Structure 1
Amino acid sequence: MRHTNYGVMLGLAIAALALAMIAGAFWGTADLPWDERIRALLRLPDAQPNLQLIIWEWRLPRVIMVALVGGGLALSGVIMQGLLRNPLADPYLLGLSSGASAAATAAIVWMPAAFVASFGLELLAFLGAMLAFILTLGLAFQPGRGMDKLVLILAGVAISLFFQSISAFFLHLADPHVTRNALAFLMGSAAGARWGDIPPLAIVLPLGFIVTFACAKMLDAVLLGDERAVALGVPLPVMRFGLLSLAALLTGLAVAGAGIIGFVGLIVPHMARLMVGASHKRLIPLAVVLGMIVLVVVDLLCRIVLAPEELPLSVLLALFAAPPFVFILRRVRRGL
């Protein structure tokens, strides 16, 4: 693909993201007149205070949060699939989602509500995700031999099963009224996002993008095989540890911001790859923007499909992601 075509494609994707975010701020469960929506969005002097509250304190933080979460998960997916050379790798491969869900479930079921409110469920979920990542790395790392990617995948599966069993055990023992809150987090939702929740991911995602984009050529070399990458001068052990840690951090912050959201980190990198090829210099920016678009649009649909009720993000994501996932499996089976 020529550079001009890629520039146009990326520009159109950014424009689509801007339109999707504006739509996310305009539409929702509350039916507002169009002229009042525009006044509230622009904060004109004659705008109604309650409408400004809905748009600026409820909708905009939520839209920005899901955009950051979608971009973070997509970038993590690009990193995981590139470093592990596995087209089915996703950000939750290292047990991050299971660790976060176990920590959140334990906090909701067993800890006092005042303790959870003071520390924040998001922070506890993030700590659980980081604990799972540390355990996975500890199992995969061998002194003198470094980190084996196959062992890393198997360790991630083992840690995931371990924390999933813990979550299931807690949910089985908990009061049915309490489990509703835990299940709402496990199914993914950005409802209740506030401006104060945005800075961690808003800081880490741009920095992570810069670091990953700077490593684009080295990621291209890794696709040729570990031996060739090392022969080309790629510091593979250091890069693999650093970028996997970055992917874990992004995924942990995404889980803290919007709960457990699957498929974005798996499907979106393949969507971008089909559009611009495997070159990471083109793949990384487009994948991040597409991840933002996908999650902003799905979150908007979750709010309006059954309004005034809201659907969890994982419900519509699974529905929309099933056909592309089958397509990817067919390509992998054929060795394409």
Structure 2
Amino acid sequence: MSTLGRRLATPALFVVLAALVALSFVISLTFGSVDYSRTEVWQVVAAHLSGGKGPDQAIDSVVWELRAPRGLLAIIVGAGLALAGVAMQTLVRNPLADPYLLGVSSGASVGATAVITLGVFSSFGLYSLSVGALLGALGATAAVYAITVAQGGLTPLRLILTGVVLSSAFSALASFLVFKGPDARAAQGVMFWMLGSVAGGQWNKLLLPALVVLLAFVVLMFLANSLDALAAGPDTAAALGVNVAVLRQVLFFIQALLVGAMVAVAGGIGFVGLVIPHLARMLVGSLHRRLLPIAMVSGSLFLLWVDVIARISAPPQEIPLGVVTGVLGAPLFLLLMGRGRYKFGSAS
């Protein structure tokens, strides 16, 4: 497809994918421990959109208070992880990088594990787990940044090595907290959280992650041309007038903010930030002005259906989302890489 054709196709593709996300969201409301018909679900959705409530109070409570915020959280987290994946792969110029490479997720795991096993931050009530995970993520971000800068700057190699080492250290600390925890059931809770879930989605928990995703998207779109230059190489970017050091710092903190916020509300969900950017590049190329919006809606669509699969695969229990993304993501990633239709950092 020509460059002009791609530019014309990208808005249409975005609209199609966004429409699929909206349709999939309504369909996802029919699935759960009790299945409802699309007619019953649509009656609830239409009633709330018009300012009322559904005709059946029991169905209304399940669909609107439990399943709807859960589905919206999956949409938000999928978009956030996909954007974080694009930012990370551009930052380190490595197509194998994923949002969890720098240890932010492992730091969040320490905070969340401390909440589950030791009861810290209990004064925050329902928000204690999210607060603990977010503070852990911020602590990990600060540690990676400080160590990398102290060793000479935010170069891709230093970031990767520092992130990998600290990620192992944070994971070991989280495991130690589980081992020392007084309640054996806490270990199961920690494991489920580390593998990710949007089951705790509530209306009052959606605003913060949604704002983070929106802010990150706007900033990344504003920097799209600079990101294209950086993906081609730091020397090329510098020759085009890009301040590479500042751009790397901005990318580092954007992806850290995205990962911290998403992990805080949904736990560690793998493969989304690795696979979706590659899929988006296959569809529209590597220019970030096209890549970012397509990756965002593709991530939303992917994680929304992952959550549906997690709900219906082993009733009455739910499978952690990380298990489903691993089963689906690994063969999908290998399939995409086997096709070889694009080169990282180019428009083709």
Question: Is this a same-fold pair by TM over 0.5?
Answer: yes
Contact 2:196 2:267 in 1 (8 A): yes
1:170-249 alignment, distance < 5 Å: 170-174=177-181, 175-249=183-257
Offset, 1:153: 0.7
Offset, 1:45: 6.1
Offset, 1:329: 6.1
Aligned with 2:29: secondary structure? helix
Cα 1:186–1:45 shift into 2, 3 Å = closer
Contact 1:101 1:167 in 2 (8 A): yes
1:1-336 alignment, distance < 5 Å: 1=1, 2=5, 3-43=7-47, 47-111=55-119, 114-115=122-123, 117=125, 120-142=128-150, 145-174=152-181, 175-327=183-335
- Once the two structures are aligned, what percentage of the paired residues are identical? 37
Q: Distance in 1 between matches of 2:121 and 2:211?
A: 29
Q: Distance in 2 between matches of 1:46 and 1:290?
A: 31
Aligned with 1:146: secondary structure? coil
Contact 2:131 2:264 in 1 (8 A): yes
- Normalising by structure 2, report the TM-score: 0.90
Letter in 2 for 1:195: W
Offset, 1:113: 8.3
Offset, 1:120: 1.4
Q: Distance in 1 between matches of 2:106 and 2:119?
A: 19
Cα 1:266–1:32 shift into 2, 3 Å = same
Letter in 2 for 1:101: S
What is the number of equivalent residue pairs in this alignment? 334
Offset, 1:39: 1.9
- Normalising by structure 1, report the TM-score: 0.93
What does the per-residue CA deviation read over 1:175-194, in whole Å, with 9 as the maximum and x for residues that have no partner? 32221221121111111211
Q: Distance in 1 between matches of 2:343 and 2:120?
A: 52
Q: For structure 2, which runs of at least 5 residues remain unmatched after alignment? A: none
What does the per-residue CA deviation read over 1:66-104, in whole Å, with 9 as the maximum and x for residues that have no partner? 110000000011011112110011111110111011111
Q: For structure 1, which runs of at least 5 residues remain unmatched after alignment? A: none
User: 25-34 or 302-311, which moves further after superposition?
Assistant: 25-34
User: 32-41 or 275-284, which moves further after superposition?
Assistant: 32-41
Contact 2:93 2:156 in 1 (8 A): no
Contact 2:108 2:263 in 1 (8 A): yes
Q: Distance in 2 between matches of 1:20 and 1:99?
A: 33
Cα 1:90–1:33 shift into 2, 3 Å = closer
Cα 1:46–1:170 shift into 2, 3 Å = closer
Q: Distance in 1 between matches of 2:154 and 2:121?
A: 40
Offset, 1:34: 4.1
Q: Distance in 2 between matches of 1:224 and 1:46?
A: 53
Q: Distance in 1 between matches of 2:43 and 2:9?
A: 37
Q: Distance in 2 between matches of 1:155 and 1:114?
A: 32
Offset, 1:263: 0.6
Offset, 1:160: 0.2
Aligned with 1:31: secondary structure? coil
Contact 2:30 2:37 in 1 (8 A): no
What is the RMSD of the two structures over their aligned residues, measured on CA atoms?
2.1
Q: Distance in 1 between matches of 2:38 and 2:130?
A: 34
Aligned with 1:249: secondary structure? helix
Letter in 1 for 2:269: I
Contact 1:99 1:128 in 2 (8 A): yes
Q: Distance in 2 between matches of 1:45 and 1:128?
A: 39
Offset, 1:117: 2.5
